[in-house]
Amino acid sequence: MNVKETLEQKGKQLVPPVFMALLAILYMSQAGSFGDQTSAEAPTLYGSVVLVISIAVFIAALLPKRQKKLEKSLIKHEDHDFAWHISSRIFGMVALFVGFIFIAGFYIAIPTFLLLFLKFISKISFLKSAIAAAIAFSLTWFLFSYVLNLEVYTGYIGGFL
């Protein structure tokens, strides 16, 4: 493997953590812009976790030992072209999910995102995806409303209702 191929491969490995770090920083910049205290702290809490994970993945992608471990593993790793199409669809859905949280709130955005992700990315049947989305809504509502007794951001639409 020559230097050009190595740099190209490293570059492909570094794109996802850099993109996730930028999304985390953008999300963290929204801290304090929500009406309730719980939602105002969420960007700092979750954004910092995503930022730390993306930095760890970025550093791991730079380490040469990681490549040697892949060569010694029992699983055969084949060198394929980076799946830009599916990756861009997933990152696009995550970006739309964050935007949809601002518009419709957590209770609507979480099951909608899960339904669309399971149906169109994971290729699970619509019925199973809808059941999973309904369970996600129920668990989210029960956990935040009854167990934790926290007010959850309801979005711009929820603010008008």
Instruction: Look up the domain containing 122 and give its range.
Output: 83-161
Please name the residue ranges forming H helices in the chain: 3-28, 37-62, 64-72, 84-104, 106-116, 126-141, 155-160
Is the distance from CB of 98 to CB of 153 less than 8 angstroms?
no
Structural domain ending residue among the three candidates 25, 53, 82: 82
Taking residues 35-51, report their average pLDDT.
69
Report the distance separating Cα 55 and Cα 62, nearest Å: 11
Q: What is the mean pLDDT of residues 105-126?
A: 86
Residues 88, 78 share a domain: no
Question: Distance between alpha carbon 5 and the CA centroid of its chain, in Å?
Answer: 29
Q: What is the mean pLDDT of residues 91-109?
A: 85
Percent share of the chain, pLDDT over 70: 69
Gap between the terminal Cα atoms of the chain? 60
Verify that 4 and 65 share a domain, yes or no.
yes
Q: Is the pLDDT of residue 134 over 90?
A: yes
Give the pLDDT confidence score for residue 18 in this predicted structure: 76
Of the pLDDT bands very low, low, confident and very high (cuts 50, 70, 90), residue 138 is: very high
Among the candidates 67, 82, 97, a domain finishes at 82
Whole-model pTM?
Answer: 0.51
Cβ–Cβ < 8 Å for 60, 37: no
My answer on whether 69 and 142 are in the same domain is no
Residue 65, pLDDT score: 60
CA dihedral 53, 106, 110, 23 (to 10 degrees): -30
